[in-house]
Amino acid sequence: MSGWPSGLGKRLQTAVRGFESLSRLQNLFDAAQRTLLWLVVMDKIKDAQRYAHLRNHYKGLTIIQAIMTGGVVPEEVQKRLFEEGWTRTGYTLCFDCMKGRSDLIAKPPVDTFLEDIASFFGGEQAQHTFGCRAAQFAVMKTASEMVKEYDTNKFAPVVLADPLCHYTTALAAEAAGLQLTEPPHTGHPEYKVEAEGFRQKIEEIKRKTGKLPCLVIVTHVDPYHGNVGPAEKVGGIAEEYGVPYMVNAAYTAGVMPVDMRDFKADFLTVSAHKSMASLGPLGFLVTRGEWTEKAFRCSKIVAEGTGRTWKNKILNVFGCSIGGVPLISSMYAFPYVLERVEKWETELEKTRWFIQQMEKMEGVRLIGERPHRHHLMHFETPIFWEISRRHKRKGFFLADEMVNRGIVGLQRGLTKNIKLSLYGLGWDDVKKVRDNFHEVAERYVKEFKLDYNVP
């Protein structure tokens, strides 16, 4: 400090020390604040251990929930997943990823599996997706890009879908910035959808906008009544007008024979955890023809600043899709799925027999088309509604009764209408379900002295 006015060096040192103790004080204060915040968070969470002790109350029960029966994972597959250690990590596919994309992984053979999936459903290419909803979103995105980029004068940003499409179809359209239009259905009790309604709507859209809808959609089997939609006829209409066409086969692909060529479909959307005996979330988008390239186009973005690009990542499926155990479960289940679609007629036989049995209870009737052509059944059940009005558990009594009898999957709180499926159950279980419905009806008709005939 030579040359500085006398005493200045000392004063500077004291000032620095002062700053140091101030900043130590500040650090102490920050740490105390962080601890306090942590305590507040921990107080809110209270008992994280309860997650660690979760139990599955429905383990081993007979499942009749329509959204689940086609997704029941064969026991052999469940065993192999654990035995082979596939459940050890989330990204279990990714050890030997050579090309930076999950669909191109060869070990395990995701690449050939996707080729097999495409062949199985009559398509040319397939991608795995985060469920059927993500497959639908990829299609909607393709259609909305087409409106913007390719055919501005030909197509309007309007999707024409059947009036029984799933909410995910509507949300996928919304998320892609498209409007949704639906033709009517025939209403209660059959809720049928006619192909001609699509032609009329296309003409209406043309009159209003001077353009065609950018996408036509049919839900192969609807999720409310289990009706088979007019997928083939609508395919003919879409082809006539030159509009891209998607069939949503979430409820059918993997339980019954589905070939998208029969529908003349450009896109087929599939839910593996709904209909391919797989763990979720997993879906597939299968494509044919000119749309394949557009649907599966790669990213073009260039990051301003670094100039980074991701040119091999497929944009509409977020580059890499499911990298874990659902895809492995689907591979293990594939041979079983190939076999089971051949037994679809047997499944229908069980379903139709069960409908007759349910309708032996006075007032019970199937809602939806007859003869019924799918495993999803929707019944009007006034007898259970009358019981629920007198029962102390109200609308919850029916699902409770069934769970107590080893059968799970009825929507809690509902008794006026019920939905269920017996897909994949053996005849013994099918009869057990029938017997239990009859027994519950008989018990409460007696107990509440109701004027209903029961078998």
Ligand X SMILES: Cc1ncc(COP(=O)(O)O)c(C=O)c1O
Nearer to ligand X, 248 or 357 (CB): 248
Closest to 323 (Cα-Cα) out of 129, 132, 82, 137:
129
Q: How far apart are CA 167 and CA 174, in angstroms?
A: 11
When computed from its CA atoms, the radius of gyration of the chain, rounded to whole angstroms, is 29
CA distances in angstroms from 25 to 29, 39, 131, 375, listed in the order given: 6, 21, 53, 70
Residues with Cβ within 8 Å of residue 353, at least 6 apart in sequence = 430
Q: Under a CB-based contact definition with an 8 Å cutoff, are residues 274 and 69 in contact?
A: no
Interacting stretch for ligand X, rule CB under 6 A, among 79-87, 128-136, 139-147, 288-296?
A: 128-136
State which of positions 261-320 bind ligand X (CB under 6 A): 271, 273-274, 283
Q: How far apart are CA 434 and CA 437, in angstroms?
A: 5
Nearer to ligand X, 269 or 381 (CB): 269
Nearer to ligand X, 273 or 434 (CB): 273
Least distance in angstroms from the C-beta of 68 to ligand X = 10
Interacting stretch for ligand X, rule CB under 6 A, among 72-80, 130-138, 176-184, 316-324?
A: 130-138
State which of positions 9-68 bind ligand X (CB under 6 A): 67
Nearer to ligand X, 334 or 437 (CB): 334
Q: Does residue number 227 form part of the binding site for ligand X (CB under 6 A)?
A: no
Nearer to ligand X, 277 or 454 (CB): 277
Q: Does residue number 113 form part of the binding site for ligand X (CB under 6 A)?
A: no
Nearer to ligand X, 92 or 252 (CB): 252
DSSP calls for 45-98:
H--THHHHT---TTTTPEE--TTTGGGPPPHHHHHHHHHTTGGG-TTTTGGG-S
Indicate the SS3 state at residue 441: helix
Q: Does residue number 70 form part of the binding site for ligand X (CB under 6 A)?
A: no
DSSP for residue 185: B
Q: Contact with ligand X (CB under 6 A): which of 147, 158, 246, 250?
A: 250
Q: How far apart are CA 130 and CA 323, in angstroms?
A: 10
Interacting stretch for ligand X, rule CB under 6 A, among 109-117, 125-133, 203-211, 256-264?
A: 125-133
Q: Contact with ligand X (CB under 6 A): which of 166, 288, 350, 378?
A: 166
Q: Contact with ligand X (CB under 6 A): which of 71, 123, 131, 323?
A: 131
Q: Does residue number 178 form part of the binding site for ligand X (CB under 6 A)?
A: no
Q: How far apart are CA 436 and CA 443, in angstroms?
A: 10
Taking CB positions, which residue lies at the least distance from ligand X?
131
Beta bridge partners of 309: 302
Nearer to ligand X, 67 or 268 (CB): 67
Q: Contact with ligand X (CB under 6 A): which of 132, 146, 237, 454?
A: 132
Q: Does residue number 332 form part of the binding site for ligand X (CB under 6 A)?
A: no
User: How many residues of this chain interact with ligand X, rule: CB under 6 A?
Assistant: 15
Map tokens 């919304």 to a residue: 174
Least distance in angstroms from the C-beta of 393 to ligand X = 27
Q: Does residue number 321 form part of the binding site for ligand X (CB under 6 A)?
A: no
Please report how the helices 427-447 and 397-404 are oriented relative to each other, as an axis angle in degrees rounded to 10. 130
Least distance in angstroms from the C-beta of 130 to ligand X = 8
Least distance in angstroms from the C-beta of 269 to ligand X = 7
DSSP for residue 406: T
CA 111 to chain centre: 23
Q: Does residue number 217 form part of the binding site for ligand X (CB under 6 A)?
A: no
Least distance in angstroms from the C-beta of 133 to ligand X = 3
Q: How far apart are CA 135 and CA 224, in angstroms?
A: 21
Q: Does residue number 133 form part of the binding site for ligand X (CB under 6 A)?
A: yes
Least distance in angstroms from the C-beta of 350 to ligand X = 21
Q: Order of strands, edge to edge, in the sheet holding 283-287?
A: 125-129, 283-287, 267-271, 245-248, 212-219, 155-161, 179-181
HSE (side-chain half, CA atoms, 13 Å) at 87:
9
Interacting stretch for ligand X, rule CB under 6 A, among 100-108, 199-207, 246-254, 434-442?
A: 246-254
HSE (side-chain half, CA atoms, 13 Å) at 75:
3
Q: Does residue number 126 form part of the binding site for ligand X (CB under 6 A)?
A: no
At 169, the amino acid letter reads T
Q: Contact with ligand X (CB under 6 A): which of 92, 144, 227, 248?
A: 248
Q: Contact with ligand X (CB under 6 A): which of 123, 213, 223, 235?
A: 223
Strands 179-181 and 283-287, by their bridges, are unpaired
Least distance in angstroms from the C-beta of 165 to ligand X = 7
Q: Does residue number 105 form part of the binding site for ligand X (CB under 6 A)?
A: no
Nearer to ligand X, 81 or 282 (CB): 282
Q: Which residues bind ligand X (CB under 6 A)?
A: 67, 131-133, 166, 168, 219, 223, 248, 250-251, 271, 273-274, 283
